Chain A
Amino acid sequence: MPEITREEVAHLARLARLALDDSELDVLAGQLDVILGAVAQIAEVTDAADVPPTSHAVPLVNVTRPDAVVPSLPREKVLAGAPAAEDGRFRVPRILDDSA
């Protein structure tokens, strides 16, 4: 049975870029425990062991498009929804982490 700690939830929140405070982390840790406890029953499905996983509900393969250029959006529309823009670009606050 999983026991989710506040620290684990804090790690997940970092991965998911969610600024959660301690009380939120505590609530979520409790709820996650309950939910994971409930979904853990799928581990019982032992006949799944040598069953292939299903990632797609449709049995399609090789859906492609020809390499043809179609018009892009006009830039006014591209930037219209941006919280901030400058010089035709999206403006963002300073970036800390320069690795990708």
Chain B
Amino acid sequence: MTDLTRLTASETAAAIKDRTVSAVEVTQAHLDRIATVDGQVHAFLHVDTEGALAQARKVDAGEFPGPLAGVPLALKDVLTMEGVPTTAGSKILEGWRPPYDATVTARLKAAGVVILGKTNMDEFAMGSSTEHSAYGPTHNPWDLTRIPGGSGGGSSAALASYQAPLAIGTDTGGSIRQPAAVTGTVGVKPTYGGVSRYGLVAFSSSLDQAGPCARTVLDAALLHEVIAGHDPHDSTSIDAPVPPVVEAARSRHIRGLRVGVVKELSGEGYEPGVQARFDEAVEILKDLGATVTEVSCPHFVYALPAYYLIAPSEASSNLARFDSVRYGLRVGDDGVNSLEEVMALTRAQGFGAEVKRRIILGTYALSSGYYDAYYGQAQKVRTLITRDFARAWESVDVLVAPTCPTVAFPLGAKLQDPLAMYRQDVASIPSNLYGGPAASFPAGLSDGLPVGLQVMAPTLRDDLLYRVGSAFEAALPAPVPSLAWENA
């Protein structure tokens, strides 16, 4: 019998529909896989064995007709799921079981998707390596001594180690795309407002966006279609039809598509191997019939500094609610300390170093006297970056760039240097500031480690990402990790 964990999501769904296998068998195979390998990968923070099997049984009883019914999925621990622990990678939420489902979670359940559990992440999605998780790092299945990317390293590592064929990530500055790039998987940040943020534990509200992660372009599109669409519980949710992503993911042709290579997202700071794979990817796109031109987006170089003002500012406010009153950790309640002291002790102990760093930075950027120079100026730069995109769309249909400037680096390599860590996001951030969709697709290996091709598209043209991805995937299949450590 074939290894059920090696199937794609669409193959799995078809097999369950045909009754070749049962959803319970598929689910059990993945639970077994998790039990076998996750001790080494540490992709999951919580495995919901009972809930997953219960949902699989419902699928087998014919409750869900959808195209992903019975397919297992790994949910980033930043989305709430009723009754299941949700920590956002933080000690401050340890043990918290939300009384409600995120809209994404509810839609997955309604589609018959089997949620295996919650995946590891940098605390409150702040990081690019998953080393900032309060529960220990996740390891890259390509090389366990290296980072799986972040903040959604748990989700991408789960895919790359065949613990799940589908995963959900969230992307504030690249947290879906960079982990996808360094694990050789597919990750899509939809248009901001395309997928509901209700139930997504907020990092930076104006940038956060949940999206699909998978091993194939079609699987990502199928998942995209399940989770996307208007939600009245999210005021920033766009009330428009979901772009035809599945159709685009099956199209596999880009003849005549106008592709722009972003001049500012290359060169210095990009590893030669990464640059080489990117240049080859551009050649492949040309071979597939795309017209390729170089496009200048002069303000993209300011995206990183603008992001590191906007995101921490919003985070400093979003994270204020973790105060030991209504949920989560409480420290120092000895009957003597005042509430103010207990709050400050709880937050000092419950948040990790990176979170505290960003809270302090954001508090500074918003404080009176500094607002205009920092937060205000960053918001203006955001306008200029949006204008750069608008100008690009006058001449091209999509923009391409490396997803991130390096391959997966060794665990610990950048922990002492926040700025070096922040530079991982230099190429992914512009799309977050603009709001348009962007994706990372596997683009080969450099020194045996995956490299990602990033594609960026105009707002609500998420379908273009899948068009490019499907054609590119057909021309250059995703690399397969050896997972030699499994038998070591």
Contact = CB atoms under 8 A, between A and B. Distances in A.
Interface of A: 4, 8-9, 12-13, 15-20, 24, 28, 31-32, 34-36, 38-45, 47-49, 51-58, 60, 63, 65, 73, 77-78, 80-84, 90, 92-97
A43 B377 CA distance: 7
B365 to A, nearest CB: 9
A45 B384 CA distance: 9
Contacts of A32: 357, 360-361, 364
B378 to A, nearest CB: 6
Interface string B201-238: 00000110000000000000000000000001001101
6 contacts: A18-B359, A45-B299, A53-B379, A57-B192, A57-B207, A60-B236
A95 B338 CA distance: 6
Contact of A9 (B342, B360, B380): B360
Secondary structure of the B side of the interface?
Answer: helix
Given A15-B363, A45-B384, A78-B99, 9 more contacts: A9-B360, A12-B363, A53-B376, A57-B206, A58-B193, A63-B236, A81-B96, A82-B326, A93-B339
B206 A17 contact: no
A78 B339 CA distance: 20
Contacts of A96: 338-340
Interface stretch (B245-253, B268-276, B300-308, B400-408): B300-308
Contacts of B363: 12, 15-16
B40 interface: no
Contacts of B367: 12, 15
Interface in B367-419: 367, 373-374, 376-384, 386, 418-419
A43 B373 contact: yes
B337 interface: yes
Nearest to A28: B360
B302 A93 contact: no
A65 B232 contact: yes
B326 to A, nearest CB: 6
Interface in B95-138: 96-97, 99-100
Given A38-B419, A83-B333, A18 B348 contact: yes
Interface string B318-355: 00100111111110010101111111110110010000
A96 B341 CA distance: 9
Contacts, number: 177
Contact of A82 (B193, B207, B327): B327
Contacts of A49: 380
A65 B235 CA distance: 9
Contacts of B100: 73
B427 to A, nearest CB: 17
B435 interface: yes
Contact of A54 (B97, B193, B238, B386): B386
A55 B357 contact: no
Contacts of A43: 373, 377
Interface in B156-214: 192-193, 206-207
A28 to B, nearest CB: 6
Contacts of B342: 92-93
A77 B193 CA distance: 29
A80 B320 CA distance: 21
| A20, A43, A53, A60: most-surrounded residue (chain B CB, <10 A) | A53
Contacts of B329: 83
Contacts of A52: 380, 383
Given A39-B374, A55-B206, A96-B340, A17 B333 contact: no
